[in-house]
Amino acid sequence: MRIPDGVDFDDAAYVTLGAIAMQGVRQADPRLGEIIAVIGLGLLGQLTVQMLRANGCRVLATDIADNKLELARRFGAEQAVSADALADAATSMSGGHGVDAVIIAASTKENTPSRLPRRSAAARAGWSCSGGAHGPAARAFLSEGTRAAAVHLVRPGRYDLEYEEKGLDYPYGYVRWTEGRNMEAFLWLVREGKVDCRTLTTHRFDIEQAEQAYRMMLSARSPISASCSSTGNTVRPSAAYRSRPPRPRRPVG
């Protein structure tokens, strides 16, 4: 995919995360002026907050970490509160009606993130789970909303060999937002200044220090984003990668 003029490589490196966050927003189907709750403010959550603001929505954000709440406020969240204050904040923002949609951007097998929205959402609120909450409560609340969806990566198109490797696109009129079109839309938002990735990048490493970068990210108590770059002009795949046989085609049907 071509990086548009005005977007540097560091920002473009967020394109996959951005497409996942964008698909989560699309599945929640937020409308202009609606109040949307975002649960979980890691990288996906922070990108989601910015996209919702660009979409003309009012954002109520929650997380267990104070520094993430502060960052969400910088990105335009009208209120960013702890989990125990979520219901009261939703009541205050909505005049007692509850939020119009909930996006869970937290990755956990626990039920806590999925239980939070029940007292905060309107009766016919939309629901979207982009972060990978897998508990029984997550499955239960996704079955209750009138606009409900669990988001799996950046679909449609993801893991489709015909699409990803052969370039056979889905018909525009039938599948408007594919993996690639979500990525293009995300890069456009970055170029237009609607999404700020640079603030999310806390560390930069040379590609030879990639192992060190991964160790640091796995040991950090707060999620961080690290950018790795090459000192050479070209990054080539390793010999082992080049010599791999092609993946077998998926069976049809």
Residues 125-150: tens digit of each pLDDT:
666 776 555 555 455 555 554 454 44
Selection from 88, 18, 64 nearest residue 221 by Cα: 64
Quick one: 187 and 207 in the same domain? Answer: no
My answer on whether 34 and 149 are in the same domain is: yes
Residues 222 and 128 in one domain: no
Whether residue 38 lies inside any domain: the answer is yes
- Residue 87 token pair: 């219901």
User: What separation, in Å, do the N-terminal and C-terminal C-alpha atoms of the chain show?
Assistant: 30
| 170 φ/ψ angles, rounded to the nearest 5 degrees | -80, 150
Classify burial at 174, counting beta carbons within 10 Å of its beta carbon; exposed 0-12, middle 13-18, buried 19 or more: exposed
Single out the residue of 21, 9, 67 nearest to residue 195, CA to CA: 21
127: which strand partners? 102, 148
Domain assignment present for 252:
no
d(C-alpha 101, C-alpha 199), whole Å: 26
Tens-digit pLDDT profile for residues 184-202: 999 999 999 999 999 999 8
223 and 128 both lie in a single domain? no
Give the residue among 44, 192, 72, 69 at the shortest CA–CA distance from 130: 44
Q: What does pLDDT average to over the chain? A: 79
Q: What is the mean pLDDT of residues 109-132?
A: 63
**Sign of dihedral through CA atoms 228, 231, 232, 238?**
negative
Same domain, yes or no: 134 and 52: yes
Query: What is the span of the domain harbouring residue 221?
Result: 203-242
Same-domain pairing of 171 and 212: no
Residue 74 resides in a domain: yes
Q: How many domains does the chain have?
A: 2
Q: Is the pLDDT of residue 5 over 80?
A: yes
Placement of tokens 């000192």 in the chain:
231
In a domain, 251, yes or no: no
Q: Does the structure show a pLDDT above 90 at 168?
A: no
CA angle centred on 65, ends 61 and 71, rounded to 5°? 55
Q: For residues 47 and 212, which has the higher predicted lDDT (pLDDT)?
A: 47
Same domain as 57, residue 23: yes
Q: Do 182 and 233 fall into the same domain?
A: no
- Indicate the pLDDT class of residue 110, thresholds 50, 70 and 90: low
Tokens of 31: 């409308």
11-20, 50-59, 109-118, 175-184: which range is least confident on average?
109-118
Contact in structure between 34 and 52 (CB atoms under 8 Å)? no
